[in-house]
Amino acid sequence: MAFVTDGGRQYVVAGPWRRRADIAELIEVSDGKHRALLLSAVLASLTSLGVQMVIVDYGPNAVDPVLCREAGLEVVERIVEYERPDCRVEPRPSALEVRSYRHEDRDAILDVERHSFPWLWWNSPEEWDAYVSLPSVGVIVGLADGQIVGYAGFTVYHRDGHLDRLAVHEREQGRGFGSALLVEALMRLDQAGARRVRLTTQEDNHRSQALYERYGFRRGRWVYEIYGKWLNRPEGAHL
């Protein structure tokens, strides 16, 4: 959606964040004396539509602190980067069965996400379908007793690998399944020709950071903040 004023010279544009109907992103907000009025209008409209949170996500680019103050936004997430200079790793025995993703796995994987990631990082079905349709993306799933309990998604671009996601259902954590998925993902990245690999994770996700550091990842310099504001907070939702 968009609101304009001053003959179209001032405007605000908002839309779904990562194809989530419950999270909106302020995509572009022009400068000018009417910015506060425009922000008030778009936030009121998003609230009336039942949108639960609005965010500003500029990645590593600088965020306008005045804009965030005018919109009532505060830091809701800090993202940090980890990197590894190569993808070589020795296979390790595991009770986890690992295979490539199939389309019929989607619902089970989305359920795993809801029991491993905070609310903010759940994929919508539309976002997931768009992700797995990319030719550079690979996804593996982990099964225990015939049930999907985790997955990893990764991307290869030229010689650069990126671990996009690594998730294990909360009831299955502590059994070494995250390590098994990480090792398999690194092996597949290596086979695809990736010479190095990067990933991002939440700054306060110390458990995942410990796993990555155990396998040779080191903290990079790249950090960015996501600013947000609850509009209609769902019961029990946490970031």
pLDDT for 63 equals 73
pLDDT at 222: 86
Radius of gyration of the chain (CA): 20
Regions in the chain scoring below 50 on pLDDT: none
The tens digit of pLDDT for each residue in 147-167 reads 999 999 999 998 999 999 999
Taking the C-alpha atoms of 87, 91, 92 and 93 in order, what is their torsion angle to the nearest 10 degrees? 140
Calculate the CA 231 to chain-centre distance.
21
Q: Which residues contact 50 (CB under 8 A, 6 or more apart)?
A: 22, 232
Q: How far apart are CA 139 and CA 156, in angstroms?
A: 12
Strands 196-202 and 160-168: parallel
Alpha-carbon span 25 to 198, nearest angstrom = 25
What per-residue confidence (pLDDT) applies to 69?
Answer: 87
**Between 3.40.630.30, 3.10.110.10, 3.30.2350.10, 3.40.350.10, what CATH number should domain 87-194 receive?**
3.40.630.30
CA atoms of 227 and 206, how far apart (whole Å): 21
What's the rounded Cα separation, in Å, for the pair 104 and 141? 12
Q: State the Cα–Cα distance between residues 187 and 42, nearest whole angstrom.
A: 46
Q: Is 182 exposed, middle or buried (0-12, 13-18, 19+ CB in 10 A)?
A: buried
How confident is the model over 207-226, as pLDDT tens digits?
Answer: 999 999 999 999 998 888 99
Query: Could you give phi then psi for residue 21, rounded to 5 degrees?
Result: -70, -20
Buried (b) or exposed (e) across 24-52, using 16+ Cβ within 10 A? bbbeebbeeebbeebbebbbeebeeeebb
What is the pLDDT at residue 208?
95
- The domains of the chain are located at 2-77+225-230, 87-194
Q: What pLDDT does residue 234 have?
A: 76
